[in-house]
Structure 1
């Protein structure tokens, strides 16, 4: 399986499961239809770098996936996310900067932590009491991976995505414990400052 399909498989897992419960909006396409559309958008995107700095590179296919995820979240949760293409690129850069900074400060996520987290998610989604929409999303993710369900959950690509997500969670806790942030708004401001520090050195190719 190529990089594109794995990005769909892993990033959608993060975008949907970690953000919270899923709600159906009125007159929206089915989950299956939205997954087909996302896969098409990512595959059609050119494979090139659209923004880069000293410690990060943003690829057009990753950008297409991020943008498709936002549209998916809007439809499933019946909300409007007002972000321009440049806003999306900057959000991706900020995530990369946070991950880099967390690692520089000595934070890390063990393989056992990743395994435990994935096991918890899998058990949650297998619970018959859980939102059936989430099971449908899970089934689509596995189907698109081309793997068996066990292979999907045990894949290295998925583990790498959750490693970054858990690393960011640890970094947020560290900032809170140190009194640098008190909530989501403070963390957003913290990320904005990280971006401002490197903004003059960003090379765009869009």
Structure 2
């Protein structure tokens, strides 16, 4: 089912929250999800304010041919808990370019893969009391029912993007696992991140990133 446009950015916030905090299949440290209701309500309040902002549809950032609205920009800032425009820009640019690089490598994600992934995440959350508790806090803070969230087209699309990025990262994980057999998983992840940062830096030189921050209040 499709949600009303007013809830578009809230979907992004919840999914970003789950992805950034590791509430997904294979999350190894669910106890690290020490999120307080007060913090989530503060984020929820910020998101609702963003939704009501009449200028929220204005474009404030262009990364190649992808336009980023003020709504999306501020929502990412709320999730990252920062108003630093450079930090928010760097985060968005990095993830837009990772998806671009993944597609250029011929990486694809089928609808069935996304459906299976979402079902795995739902099963993981349902079978883990702490994950379920945190997930319910997210839903409550942003005014969603569980079914409303999982059945939305936007949730599907965002998880599809997450899978695309995950497949891209896995290429480098596999490479470093084979080359650096003495490295820990944490060290492998740092090598992957370093490689991706190098590729992103090179990619930035080939595209135009335009900022229209004069639209900020």
User: Could you tell me the TM-score, scaled by structure 1's length?
Assistant: 0.74
Answer yes or no: is the 8 Å Cα contact 1:49–1:60 preserved in 2: yes
Answer yes or no: is the 8 Å Cα contact 1:102–1:171 preserved in 2: yes
Q: How many residues align?
A: 189
Answer yes or no: is the 8 Å Cα contact 1:5–1:144 preserved in 2: no
- State the secondary structure of the residue aligned to 1:203: strand
Q: 1:155 to 1:61 in 2, by over 3 A?
A: same
> How far did 1:147 drift?
5.1
Q: 1:140 to 1:90 in 2, by over 3 A?
A: same
- State the secondary structure of the residue aligned to 1:51: strand
Alignment-derived partner of residue 79 in structure 1: none
Answer yes or no: is the 8 Å Cα contact 2:13–2:79 preserved in 1: no
Answer yes or no: is the 8 Å Cα contact 1:58–1:89 preserved in 2: no
- State the secondary structure of the residue aligned to 2:32: coil
- State the secondary structure of the residue aligned to 2:30: coil
- State the secondary structure of the residue aligned to 2:99: helix
> How far did 1:84 drift?
4.3
In the aligned structure 2, how far is the partner of 1:83 from the partner of 1:146? 24
Q: 1:188 to 1:58 in 2, by over 3 A?
A: farther
Q: Does 1:174 align with 2:180?
A: no
In the aligned structure 1, how far is the partner of 2:197 from the partner of 2:83? 15
Alignment-derived partner of residue 112 in structure 1: 112
Answer yes or no: is the 8 Å Cα contact 1:6–1:157 preserved in 2: yes
Structure 2 portions without partners, runs of 5+: 181-187
Which of 18, 21, 24 aligns to 2:30? It is 21
Pairwise mapping of residues 86-125 of structure 1 onto structure 2 (< 5 A)?
86-125=86-125
Structure 1 portions without partners, runs of 5+: 72-81
Alignment-derived partner of residue 211 in structure 2: 204
In the aligned structure 2, how far is the partner of 1:91 from the partner of 1:65? 12
- State the secondary structure of the residue aligned to 2:45: helix
Pairwise mapping of residues 143-162 of structure 1 onto structure 2 (< 5 A)?
143=140, 148-162=145-159
Q: Does 1:53 align with 2:53?
A: no
Q: Please tell me the root mean square deviation across aligned C-alpha atoms, in Å.
A: 3.1
Answer yes or no: is the 8 Å Cα contact 2:9–2:75 preserved in 1: no
Answer yes or no: is the 8 Å Cα contact 2:109–2:164 preserved in 1: yes
In the aligned structure 1, how far is the partner of 2:13 from the partner of 2:33? 21
